[in-house]
Structure 1
């Protein structure tokens, strides 16, 4: 597999077009400009627009991101963008980190050095990883699929090819959101390649197999299913739309950067441990860097469509089916509905389950040090399995 060096460069014309659209955007009416009850606050979004237009410096963000060692490789006909940061230590373990929606590879920017060079950040060099952070197909600077069928399961197969092409026949995986689903599929389909899997989210589509021989649902498991159903009813309209008619939404988000920012920012606020003040958990320039990547890449339609692919190929198991790869799960308090350990253990070999005191859905941004330490701790006893 050939890996070609990659440098981010957005044209001046694209930046000017963004600024023109930001200046000329139309605003909806709101019965309460400060409220988030009906969706993104009008007053918040006006402030975000002003910051994006007058203070946010894309070139500065671009320059910083280009310090990361980035590459593109063609895998199954798609050009896949990824960061590949070699580890600094006696025997780094290969680790692939997968982001989700509405994130991007930028989610992992702060955690990459903590994992690749722990000795430089107060840790033990023996815990080092060779860190690979790909952009999902149709996200960021990865090419969008031109045909249907590229689900989290297909992406897992692509990631195995990517890691093998980098010389890592056996490796570890970590992820949240969609990245958690890809990591689960990796362990399910390619257990011989996986040293272990660490998750900070359990995919919403995950259902263990059940029949008359399996244990009945516990009260804790039934309470989780009720909580998940309530979340879907009150907060799940975005997922239902993206999983059924993603292109209809994409027309609006591809034409209006203000609309795109509204769609993405509302999720960062709702899913982070910010206490209603988004900037407490997600720095404003980090948020706008992520949104800008969606805008400049033109990939919003493909990113939404992945939800449809995952609906058509959910992470459901047959009765009695289990994955032997060791799993570790870190639960952050402001995460979306998370099942109890017993639910996950019905299909996965859970060897570590930890509850954290703070943090939400975007743990790699919100709590990078805590998440990095959890990842190091989980994989430490599994390093003896690493035959590289």
Structure 2
């Protein structure tokens, strides 16, 4: 056997034995064309004049929001392309692949289930998808109840049509999922479906089995995560015993800048904009995506925040609401100014503080 041929055979055998699925990992964030991307953010429009199932898309190559030609539940859109390894796994289990789906408002798991059963309040107010193999994985954080549907190729729930929603996907190397597992431990994510190989990170397996949560202080955790292409993302996670608002009690203190927070506008006991702290936290009440009709927070279920000028942007789990001060949750933040400027430009109206002028005058 010639040396070149011998080396080729050895390389192929190595891929088969070590990786099972080949040398190239399929578990990565993917755009509407199916191409690999390091990260992306989707902003689904509400079901108003210009919306429904349409969504805006942004990644490191776009430099701005772009209206996708696909619909959010399309078999050819970014979500479907990203979820493909999971959807394929439903049909045929493959070695060396693992996943965890978590949602405080999980989908029905059988036709016989008469109604949706939300997670107990001791679990995190959080939603997301974790998929990984021995090389890479994705952490897809989002705001959509019942997503993705339970073990179905039709992954988009019809209940998600009405309101605006947000998604953030980041591709990480396999080793980073130990830290992601620890973040999800503090978030106390409510796993409703999972299959994590026994040889994968114990931190992730423990969360998938709903058996891990913090037992001692501090009741929050911050961690910088590095994407596959070397981009840094800052993850915030708070356990319920932290006892404060995610934004005014944790994020704003770390970023040391004012914060504009977009959360759900139909809360029972919303927290007002807060100017009683060194860096203020304002509630965003209305946004406008591209040149479309502005819409209010009452039809926008997304959760995100941005600093003035866009130095930092966070895609988050939680709303600014009194009861959620005692819930677990988190946020994933980027200091990509291009992303921040894109989010900052969306805001058309925010709630001023009741005594804002008085507070500012006293500071002077």
TM-score after normalising by structure 1: 0.28
| Higher strand proportion (structure 1 or 2) | 2
